[in-house]
Amino acid sequence: MAPTLATQMILMSKREEDINTEEINSSGGENTGDIEVSSDNGEVNTGNIESLGDSEDSGNIDVNAEGDISTGNISSISNNNSGYISVNSQEGSVNTNNIETIAKAGNSGDINIVAIDYISTGNISSIGNNNTGDISVNS
């Protein structure tokens, strides 16, 4: 069977509208695609966001909003190298469950969380077999 590659997923709103979704998942037998969820003038509300790579690298995850961001778990997990995770609210708050980058054989990605208002999360973990990513939380 041929290896599977996931493609990049982008959800974007340029108008004053919110993005509301259930789970977002990018998974594949080899490399998985990046995930970007962005609302230039509204809020982002999602369930879990996952990039899962079976045998190679997992993708990066970017969540950006002018307003508040609320998510379930955010995970970039791979048997090789994991992608980074970035959550950025320009004028609001960030409320998430657990955030993790896990690389079972390689390097794990950085985790960066920024909000002008408050930040509330579950556990934040960067775990790598070789190198672990940096974790930065700024409000």
**Sheet bearing 111-115, strands edge to edge:** 9-13, 35-39, 61-65, 85-89, 111-115, 135-138
Is 84 in contact with 108 (CB distance < 8 Å)?
A: no
Q: What is the pLDDT of residue 28?
A: 77
Q: What is the pLDDT of residue 49?
A: 95
Q: What is the pLDDT of residue 42?
A: 92
Q: What is the pLDDT of residue 8?
A: 54
Q: Which residue, among 19, 75, 24, 77, has the nearest Cα to 47 in the 3D structure?
A: 24
Q: What is the pLDDT of residue 77?
A: 94
Q: What is the pLDDT of residue 1?
A: 36
Q: What is the pLDDT along the chain (139 residues), one digit of tens a residue?
A: 344 444 555 554 555 678 888 998 888 777 888 999 999 889 999 999 999 988 789 999 999 999 999 999 999 999 999 999 999 999 999 999 999 999 999 999 999 999 999 999 999 999 999 999 999 999 9
User: What's the predicted TM-score (pTM) here?
Assistant: 0.90
Q: What is the pLDDT of residue 14?
A: 52
